[in-house]
Chain A
Protein backbone atom coordinates (compact mmCIF):
# COMPACT_ATOMS: atom_id res chain seq x y z
CA UNK A 1 0.00 0.00 0.00
CA UNK A 2 0.96 3.64 -0.37
CA UNK A 3 3.11 5.11 2.40
CA UNK A 4 4.86 8.35 3.14
CA UNK A 5 8.65 8.56 3.51
CA UNK A 6 9.28 9.01 7.22
CA UNK A 7 12.73 9.40 8.72
CA UNK A 8 14.58 8.40 10.70
CA UNK A 9 13.30 4.84 11.19
CA UNK A 10 14.62 4.74 14.74
CA UNK A 11 16.33 6.99 17.23
CA UNK A 12 18.21 6.28 20.46
CA UNK A 13 18.66 9.41 22.52
CA UNK A 14 19.55 10.55 26.02
CA UNK A 15 16.89 11.99 28.28
CA UNK A 16 16.81 15.77 27.90
CA UNK A 17 17.86 15.81 24.26
CA UNK A 18 15.73 17.28 21.49
CA UNK A 19 14.30 15.05 18.74
CA UNK A 20 13.38 15.81 15.16
CA UNK A 21 11.62 13.59 12.61
CA UNK A 22 10.08 14.34 9.26
CA UNK A 23 7.86 13.05 6.49
CA UNK A 24 7.90 13.68 2.77
CA UNK A 25 5.54 12.75 -0.02
CA UNK A 26 5.27 13.04 -3.76
CA UNK A 27 1.60 13.97 -3.29
CA UNK A 28 -0.02 17.11 -1.91
CA UNK A 29 -2.09 16.75 1.25
CA UNK A 30 -4.77 18.97 2.78
CA UNK A 31 -3.96 17.94 6.32
CA UNK A 32 -0.94 16.53 8.14
CA UNK A 33 -1.31 14.61 11.38
CA UNK A 34 1.21 13.26 13.87
CA UNK A 35 0.40 10.25 16.06
CA UNK A 36 2.16 8.29 18.82
CA UNK A 37 1.48 4.58 19.21
CA UNK A 38 2.36 2.48 22.25
CA UNK A 39 2.56 -1.33 22.04
CA UNK A 40 -0.88 -2.95 21.81
CA UNK A 41 -2.66 0.39 21.52
CA UNK A 42 -4.12 2.47 18.74
CA UNK A 43 -2.41 5.64 17.50
CA UNK A 44 -3.03 8.71 19.67
CA UNK A 45 -3.25 12.08 17.94
CA UNK A 46 -0.52 14.51 18.97
CA UNK A 47 -0.87 17.41 16.55
CA UNK A 48 -3.13 18.16 13.56
CA UNK A 49 -2.10 20.68 10.89
CA UNK A 50 -4.71 22.01 8.48
CA UNK A 51 -2.96 24.84 6.61
CA UNK A 52 0.24 25.00 4.56
CA UNK A 53 2.98 26.77 6.52
CA UNK A 54 1.17 26.25 9.82
CA UNK A 55 3.40 25.81 12.87
CA UNK A 56 1.65 24.31 15.90
CA UNK A 57 2.83 23.40 19.39
CA UNK A 58 1.43 21.00 21.97
CA UNK A 59 3.52 21.24 25.12
CA UNK A 60 7.04 20.04 24.25
CA UNK A 61 5.93 19.04 20.75
CA UNK A 62 6.08 21.31 17.72
CA UNK A 63 5.02 20.38 14.19
CA UNK A 64 4.93 22.22 10.88
CA UNK A 65 2.92 21.74 7.68
CA UNK A 66 5.37 22.30 4.83
CA UNK A 67 4.69 25.19 2.49
CA UNK A 68 4.67 22.85 -0.53
CA UNK A 69 2.04 20.69 1.26
CA UNK A 70 4.26 17.67 0.57
CA UNK A 71 6.12 17.47 3.87
CA UNK A 72 5.92 17.93 7.62
CA UNK A 73 8.21 17.71 10.62
CA UNK A 74 7.76 17.00 14.31
CA UNK A 75 10.14 18.21 17.02
CA UNK A 76 10.15 17.02 20.63
CA UNK A 77 12.12 19.18 23.04
CA UNK A 78 13.74 18.02 26.29
CA UNK A 79 12.77 14.35 25.84
CA UNK A 80 11.66 12.28 28.84
CA UNK A 81 11.40 8.47 29.26
CA UNK A 82 7.63 8.45 28.61
CA UNK A 83 8.28 9.81 25.10
CA UNK A 84 9.30 6.25 24.16
CA UNK A 85 7.10 4.80 21.44
CA UNK A 86 6.48 4.80 17.72
CA UNK A 87 5.63 8.10 16.04
CA UNK A 88 3.68 8.17 12.78
CA UNK A 89 3.04 10.97 10.37
CA UNK A 90 -0.10 10.82 8.25
CA UNK A 91 -1.22 12.87 5.29
CA UNK A 92 -4.90 13.28 4.70
CA UNK A 93 -6.70 13.51 1.42
CA UNK A 94 -9.97 11.85 2.35
CA UNK A 95 -8.26 8.79 3.76
CA UNK A 96 -5.10 8.87 5.87
CA UNK A 97 -1.81 7.70 4.37
CA UNK A 98 0.77 6.85 7.01
CA UNK A 99 4.53 6.90 7.18
CA UNK A 100 6.49 3.82 8.22
CA UNK A 101 6.97 5.18 11.73
CA UNK A 102 9.90 6.40 13.82
CA UNK A 103 10.72 4.28 16.85
CA UNK A 104 12.01 6.47 19.67
CA UNK A 105 14.04 5.11 22.57
CA UNK A 106 15.02 7.41 25.45
CA UNK A 107 17.82 6.48 27.84
CA UNK A 108 17.38 7.91 31.34
Chain B
Protein backbone atom coordinates (compact mmCIF):
# COMPACT_ATOMS: atom_id res chain seq x y z
CA UNK B 1 0.00 0.00 0.00
CA UNK B 2 1.22 3.51 -0.75
CA UNK B 3 1.80 5.90 2.11
CA UNK B 4 0.97 9.59 2.45
CA UNK B 5 2.96 11.78 0.07
CA UNK B 6 3.32 15.55 0.27
CA UNK B 7 4.67 18.11 -2.15
CA UNK B 8 6.73 20.16 -2.31
CA UNK B 9 9.19 19.12 0.41
CA UNK B 10 10.56 22.62 0.89
CA UNK B 11 9.26 26.05 -0.05
CA UNK B 12 10.35 29.65 0.47
CA UNK B 13 7.77 32.41 0.12
CA UNK B 14 7.65 36.13 0.74
CA UNK B 15 5.38 37.70 3.33
CA UNK B 16 1.99 38.52 1.80
CA UNK B 17 2.17 35.80 -0.85
CA UNK B 18 -0.12 32.81 -1.17
CA UNK B 19 0.92 29.15 -1.05
CA UNK B 20 -0.66 25.79 -1.96
CA UNK B 21 0.57 22.55 -0.42
CA UNK B 22 -0.50 19.14 -1.72
CA UNK B 23 -1.10 15.75 -0.19
CA UNK B 24 -1.98 12.29 -1.51
CA UNK B 25 -3.75 10.03 0.98
CA UNK B 26 -2.81 6.49 1.83
CA UNK B 27 -4.79 3.96 -0.18
CA UNK B 28 -8.02 2.96 1.59
CA UNK B 29 -8.25 6.10 3.72
CA UNK B 30 -11.21 8.49 3.41
CA UNK B 31 -10.13 11.39 5.65
CA UNK B 32 -7.34 13.95 5.41
CA UNK B 33 -6.13 16.23 8.19
CA UNK B 34 -3.57 19.03 8.15
CA UNK B 35 -1.27 20.02 10.99
CA UNK B 36 1.21 22.84 11.55
CA UNK B 37 4.37 22.03 13.50
CA UNK B 38 6.55 24.89 14.72
CA UNK B 39 10.15 24.15 15.65
CA UNK B 40 10.40 22.32 18.97
CA UNK B 41 6.64 21.87 19.31
CA UNK B 42 4.11 19.14 18.74
CA UNK B 43 1.87 19.37 15.65
CA UNK B 44 -1.19 21.63 15.93
CA UNK B 45 -4.45 20.66 14.21
CA UNK B 46 -5.51 22.98 11.36
CA UNK B 47 -8.52 21.16 9.87
CA UNK B 48 -9.88 17.82 8.70
CA UNK B 49 -11.71 16.88 5.48
CA UNK B 50 -14.13 14.01 5.04
CA UNK B 51 -16.20 13.42 1.91
CA UNK B 52 -14.77 16.60 0.40
CA UNK B 53 -16.08 18.79 3.22
CA UNK B 54 -14.37 20.34 6.20
CA UNK B 55 -15.59 18.51 9.33
CA UNK B 56 -13.36 19.95 12.03
CA UNK B 57 -11.16 23.00 12.43
CA UNK B 58 -8.54 24.11 14.90
CA UNK B 59 -7.69 27.61 16.04
CA UNK B 60 -6.45 28.93 12.69
CA UNK B 61 -7.69 32.03 10.81
CA UNK B 62 -9.79 31.83 7.61
CA UNK B 63 -6.76 32.56 5.45
CA UNK B 64 -5.96 28.88 6.02
CA UNK B 65 -8.26 26.94 3.71
CA UNK B 66 -8.34 23.52 2.14
CA UNK B 67 -9.84 21.16 -0.37
CA UNK B 68 -10.34 17.41 -0.58
CA UNK B 69 -10.79 15.83 -3.99
CA UNK B 70 -12.84 12.73 -4.99
CA UNK B 71 -9.66 10.62 -4.96
CA UNK B 72 -9.14 11.74 -1.31
CA UNK B 73 -6.09 13.85 -2.13
CA UNK B 74 -6.03 17.29 -0.57
CA UNK B 75 -4.65 20.83 -0.75
CA UNK B 76 -3.85 23.31 1.96
CA UNK B 77 -3.95 26.97 0.89
CA UNK B 78 -2.58 29.82 2.95
CA UNK B 79 -3.22 33.42 1.87
CA UNK B 80 -1.46 36.59 2.97
CA UNK B 81 1.50 34.71 4.42
CA UNK B 82 2.99 35.97 7.67
CA UNK B 83 6.44 35.31 9.10
CA UNK B 84 4.87 33.18 11.87
CA UNK B 85 3.49 30.82 9.23
CA UNK B 86 6.99 29.40 8.84
CA UNK B 87 6.68 25.79 9.99
CA UNK B 88 6.53 22.16 8.95
CA UNK B 89 3.09 21.42 7.50
CA UNK B 90 2.00 17.83 7.93
CA UNK B 91 -0.77 15.98 6.16
CA UNK B 92 -2.29 12.86 7.71
CA UNK B 93 -4.77 10.40 6.27
CA UNK B 94 -7.01 8.03 8.17
CA UNK B 95 -10.15 5.93 7.89
CA UNK B 96 -13.00 7.63 9.75
CA UNK B 97 -15.50 5.16 11.19
CA UNK B 98 -18.04 6.01 13.86
CA UNK B 99 -16.24 9.18 14.95
CA UNK B 100 -12.87 7.44 15.37
CA UNK B 101 -10.00 7.87 12.92
CA UNK B 102 -8.15 4.60 12.37
CA UNK B 103 -4.67 4.19 10.94
CA UNK B 104 -3.68 7.85 11.36
CA UNK B 105 -0.65 8.12 9.03
CA UNK B 106 1.46 11.21 8.44
CA UNK B 107 3.41 12.31 5.40
CA UNK B 108 6.97 13.67 5.62
CA UNK B 109 5.73 17.23 5.54
CA UNK B 110 6.39 20.45 3.65
CA UNK B 111 8.88 22.83 5.25
CA UNK B 112 7.58 26.36 4.56
CA UNK B 113 9.80 29.35 5.19
CA UNK B 114 8.29 32.84 4.96
CA UNK B 115 10.78 35.69 4.55
Contact = CB atoms under 8 A, between A and B. Distances in A.
A98 interface: yes
Interface string A44-61: 110010100000000000
B33 interface: yes
Interface string A18-39: 0000000000001101010000
Interface stretch (B11-19, B62-70, B72-80, B104-112): B104-112
A68 interface: no
Given A45-B105, A101-B42, 4 more contacts: A41-B108, A42-B109, A43-B90, A90-B104
Given A1-B59, A41-B108, A43-B106, A92 B42 contact: no
Interface residues of A, number: 26
B58 to A, nearest CB: 7
Interface of A: 1, 3, 6, 30-31, 33, 35, 40-45, 48, 50, 88, 90, 92, 94-101
B104 A92 contact: yes
A95 B59 contact: no
A94 B56 contact: yes
Nearest to A95: B45
Given A41-B109, A42-B90, A43-B43, A96 B104 contact: yes
Interface of B: 4, 6, 33, 35, 40-45, 48, 56, 58-59, 90, 92, 99-109, 111
Contact of B107 (A42, A50, A90): A42
Contacts of B101: 31, 92, 94
B33 A96 contact: yes
Given A1-B58, A1-B59, A43-B90, A98 B42 contact: yes
B48 A1 contact: no
B100 A95 contact: no
Contacts of B108: 40-42
A77 B51 CA distance: 41
Contacts of B100: 30-31, 50, 92
Contacts of B58: 1, 95
